[in-house]
């Protein structure tokens, strides 16, 4: 009996094997991606939110926030990304990642901030996949009328002559409004292959230049706050122009 069962099983297997279709191979296409990253520093020192740094006046500062928005980043007719929101507390190294061919972006030009056509749209009406949707920008928006906050830098400082170590003075720079939209232009990006389908270019940001740029210096003891309100535009101009200068190719 066991022999008969064995023969039946083998026969069934052979019969079934002759009639079943071979599984079709599925082709999976993996799109090439590019990543724009950031490596912030403070006058060459590693940057984080838990370290005290000296200013040109001899103050001691600690940063508590670093956020900014880039838009219309492109090289000629090739668009790298329409918008990117960088929030240090969410991801200290990532500006943007998406589909693209790194060979098309040896150089880039774009905006720090949001252009007038998009700056006054309702951010809640944008799709969730849009970085400028209010859920993605969070506190980087004043409301639909004034628009987006292009750059946010916040922190605290010890501005005493004795440098007591008590950082009890806050500084806050929220830069926005259409006239302060700035152009960022970067040449000779260095694209590094991370794997067969991902290349990365890294930008450097020297936060010390926020206070000490080529054309502008900011003394946080007397220039500690700007929401880009009327009368505060000159300080906001200093901050965002210093920021653009501080953002370079690593």
Does residue 4 lie in a domain region?
Answer: no
Does residue 185 lie in a domain region?
Answer: yes
pLDDT values of the chain reduced to their tens digit, one per residue, 250 residues: 333 444 344 444 444 444 556 666 666 667 899 999 999 999 999 999 989 999 999 999 999 999 999 999 999 999 999 999 999 999 999 999 999 999 999 999 999 999 999 999 999 999 999 999 999 999 999 988 889 999 999 999 999 988 888 888 999 999 999 999 999 999 999 999 999 999 999 999 999 999 999 999 999 999 999 999 999 999 999 999 999 999 999 8
Number of domains in the chain: 1
Tokens standing for residue 14: 């052979």
Tokens standing for residue 25: 């191979």
Domain of residue 115, residue span? 31-249
For 102, phi then psi, to 5°, come to: -60, -25
- For residue 23, the model assigns a pLDDT of 62
Q: How many C-beta atoms lie closer than 10 Å to residue 69's C-beta?
A: 25
DSSP 202-244: EEEEEGGGGTB-SS-B--TTTS-EE-S-TT-HHHHHHHHHHHH
- For residue 48, the model assigns a pLDDT of 95
Does residue 106 lie in a domain region?
Answer: yes
pTM: 0.87
- For residue 86, the model assigns a pLDDT of 98
- For residue 161, the model assigns a pLDDT of 87
Does residue 17 lie in a domain region?
Answer: no
Burial call 87-113: b when 16+ CB within 10 Å, e when fewer: bbeeebeebbeeebebeebeebebbbb
| Distance in angstroms (rounded) separating the CA atoms of residues 243 and 153 | 10
As separate numbers, helices (DSSP H) first and strands (DSSP E) second, the chain gives: 4, 14
- For residue 26, the model assigns a pLDDT of 67
Does residue 2 lie in a domain region?
Answer: no
Is 142 strand, coil or helix? coil
Does residue 195 lie in a domain region?
Answer: yes
| Distance in angstroms (rounded) separating the CA atoms of residues 132 and 33 | 21
- For residue 78, the model assigns a pLDDT of 97
> By C-alpha distance, which of 235, 221, 223 is closest to 176?
235
Does residue 153 lie in a domain region?
Answer: yes
- For residue 10, the model assigns a pLDDT of 42
| Distance in angstroms (rounded) separating the CA atoms of residues 142 and 110 | 22
Does residue 60 lie in a domain region?
Answer: yes
- For residue 8, the model assigns a pLDDT of 40
Is 194 strand, coil or helix? strand
- Cβ pair 205, 152 in contact under 8 A: no
Q: For residue 74, how many C-alpha atoms fall within 13 Å in the half-sphere facing its CB?
A: 8
């Amino acid at each position: 009996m066991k022999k008969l069962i064995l023969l039946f099983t083998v026969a069934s297997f052979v019969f079934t094997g002759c009639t079943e279709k071979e599984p079709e191979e599925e082709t999976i296409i993996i799109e090439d991606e590019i990543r724009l990253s950031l490596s912030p520093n403070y006058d060459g020192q590693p940057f984080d939110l838990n370290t005290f740094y000296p200013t040109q006046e001899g103050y001691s500062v600690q940063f508590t926030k670093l956020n900014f928005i880039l838009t219309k980043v492109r090289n000629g007719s090739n668009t790298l990304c329409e918008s990117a929101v960088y929030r240090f507390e969410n991801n200290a190294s990532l500006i943007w990642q998406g589909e693209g061919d790194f060979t098309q972006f040896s150089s880039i030009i774009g905006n720090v901030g949001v252009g007038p056509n998009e700056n006054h749209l309702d951010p809640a009406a944008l799709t969730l996949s849009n970085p400028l949707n209010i859920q993605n920008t969070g506190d980087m928006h004043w409301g639909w009328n004034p628009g987006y906050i292009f750059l946010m830098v916040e922190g605290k400082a010890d501005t005493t002559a004795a440098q007591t170590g008590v950082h009890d003075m806050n500084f806050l720079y929220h830069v926005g409004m259409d006239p302060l939209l700035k152009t960022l232009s970067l040449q000779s990006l260095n694209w590094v292959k991370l794997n067969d389908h991902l290349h990365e270019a890294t930008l450097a940001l020297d936060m010390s230049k926020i206070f000490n740029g080529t054309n502008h210096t900011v003394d946080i003891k007397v220039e500690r706050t700007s929401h880009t309100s009327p009368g505060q535009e000159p300080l906001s101009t200093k901050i965002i122009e210093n920021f653009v200068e501080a953002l370079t190719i690593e």
